[in-house]
Amino acid sequence: MKKRSFYVPFLLVVLIISCKQNNTENITPIKDLIVTSLPFEEIALDNLNSFKKTSKNWQIAGQVIANRQEENKLEPSNGTGVLVNLPREGEKDHLFTTFEHGDIALEVDVMMPLKSNSGIYFQGRYEVQLFDSWGIENPSFSDIGGIYERWGDSSNEGFEGYAPRINAGKAPGLWQRFKIVFHGPKFNTAGEKVKNALFKEIWLNGELIHKNVELSGPTRAAAFTDEQSKGPLMIQGDHGAVAIKNLKYKLYDNSKVALKDVVMSEYENSEKVLPSFDGLEVIREIATDTISSKMVLDEYGQNILKYSGKLVTSVAGEYLFDLKVNGGALLLINNDTIANLDGDYSMFNPAYGKVFLKEGETPFTLVYNKHTQWMRGFSLEVEGPGVEKHPLQSKESLNLNQEKPEENIVLTVTDNTITQRGFMMHEGIKRTHTIAVGLTDGMHFSYDMATASLLQVWQGDFLDVSDMWHSRGVHQLAQPLGFTVSFHGDPDFMILENESATWPNNVPKNMELRQMGYEFKENEIPVFTHKINETTITNTMVPSNESRLLKRIISVEGNKEIWHKIADGSSIEKVSKGVFIINSESYFVDFSENENLVPVIRKGGNKEELLVKIPAGDHSFSYNLIW
């Protein structure tokens, strides 16, 4: 056995946690706010009317299932909402939208069957690759999310292909979410290209895989060899099967909201809540063409900056403002409060405000309250009709390098397993009793000792602890590095009064949860043990060496029946005996190895839950999480 060096001093670590205290901190999750984005234009997938005429390989379905063992095969069912391509000889045309675009934001869910291949071509010319890349360690331009290469002018050799930063692709048969911002090429009045096409951002399954990638021309297999200011979206139809749903977009016309006649007034103030300006003395007042937190006279002082001026818009319509601040802030437009962060806030707590603006000039006031000496910074972003979201503040307003180390502090796994206690975010909640486990094969996970639940699993580098260890940070959070999938985060085990009892999101006061610690076995994988009343439960998470698969091995000893929550999601579908798809994070649960325990799907609030009842006595079972 290898010599061990851990961040814990003993092989057996015993942690006793009081489960009656509050072990989480609420940080408002953006997804729970009312309006965080102006609406997208959705392509209705009730029929093919939003697309140009094509061949019969394209059809509309209600649902689709991919057999993970059968290559290039999808099984659609009747209904609407899903676009499916099933190419065959003589019927494998591409699919083009009836609308054309220049700059565009696109969101779409795709499903790839085993070893399938397709692509989305922006303006019918610039391809983002769709491919079954599950298990690929070092992705190339031809893997999912890759920007495909171009042909050389005088040879068949390719160039300008761009691999994704990481392989964020999921297992075949799972829905995968793309968020893409594309800027088309720009031309002068003489028709000469003055700016290349640009993929500003490509996100896959929540991971940023490309940023600001320029293309000098169309990629291979494009529908058109020239470049234009606009063109249709194209989905490749002649390669492999693919399913698509939730297809929506925003078109941008390159216009922006401008600032005009701005005057900045500065005041001394140490109060967290804005006082009346009538009682404050103006330190200085200047005309400015920009807004920035860096404009304070004293970087470590306590001051208010009040900006008054005009917003200039070229199109009338609904505009959405996004305000973030370290400190306090207030945005007024036409003397109406649009975004209110008056008090003590951080960048984790944005405020959004929507307002109708006429074409032309509209008065505004922005108040920035820097009431804390050692922290500064604010941002104000806006989007509108045809207007891509962009900042109104200057770049240095968020230049907070004084709070960060010169280089991030990263824990790296080498020869031994690493365990690191700390705070971690999970679904907008700050978990304060977590243990991150870094394994030598590059698969890592986090476990919440307060709820005895598996929180996340990720593949790649281990943990960024800069915010924990550098000057103690602000929120003191450990950040997973790599492609991350989150699980429900509620207590994994619960004693329920009956089968329909509500599953709590924390340990109830009438139930005792005691952590008995974790012990490293010979394979260097920790085994977690805890007790619920008099029932003892052990948990082991074992990664696969070949793919994104985590095996959970669980043992239960007790004199009463207990329930285990395997998963929850917006919907849960049984795809075969013992195999389920969880459709929030989109992953498989394979429970098929257990003959005596049968999971049940039930409704739990606005979600569906996958539960299994464990009878009294001694029981061991296992299942696989696949993504």
The pLDDT value given to residue 403:
57
Query: Strand locations in 123-219, DSSP E?
Result: 126-131, 150-151, 158-159, 175-183, 186-187, 193-195, 197-204, 207-215
- Going by C-alpha positions, the residue among 578, 583, 579 that lies closest to residue 608 is 583
Six token digits for residue 431: 């978990």
Spatial separation of the C-alpha atoms in residues 49 and 108, rounded to whole Å: 18
Predicted confidence at residue 399, as pLDDT, reads 61
pLDDT at 275 (0 to 100)? 93
Mean pLDDT, 10 residues at a time, the chain of 627 residues: 35 38 43 74 97 97 91 96 96 97 98 97 98 93 96 75 95 96 97 97 96 96 96 96 98 96 96 91 95 92 96 97 96 97 92 97 98 91 98 86 70 92 91 94 94 94 88 77 93 93 92 93 89 96 87 96 96 93 90 94 93 96 96
Q: How far apart are CA 487 and CA 585, in angstroms?
A: 8
In the prediction, which pLDDT does 453 show? 96
Residue closest to 122 by CA, chosen among 239, 241, 251 = 251
Check: CB of residue 424 under 8 Å from CB of residue 478: yes
Q: Do domains 41-252 and 256-385 have the same CATH topology?
A: yes
Among candidate residues 455, 439, 446, 545, the one with its CA nearest the CA of residue 137: 545
The Cα–Cα gap between 194 and 43 comes to: 32
Quickly list H helices, 168-300. none
Domains of the chain by residue range: 12-28+407-557, 41-252, 256-385
CATH number of 41-252: 2.60.120.560
pLDDT of residue 154: 62
> Is the CB of residue 56 less than 8 Å from the CB of residue 76?
no
Please count the other Cβ atoms lying within 10 Å of the Cβ belonging to residue 432.
18
- CATH 2.60.120.260 is the classification of domain 256-385: yes
* Tokens (6 digits) for 12: 């057996």
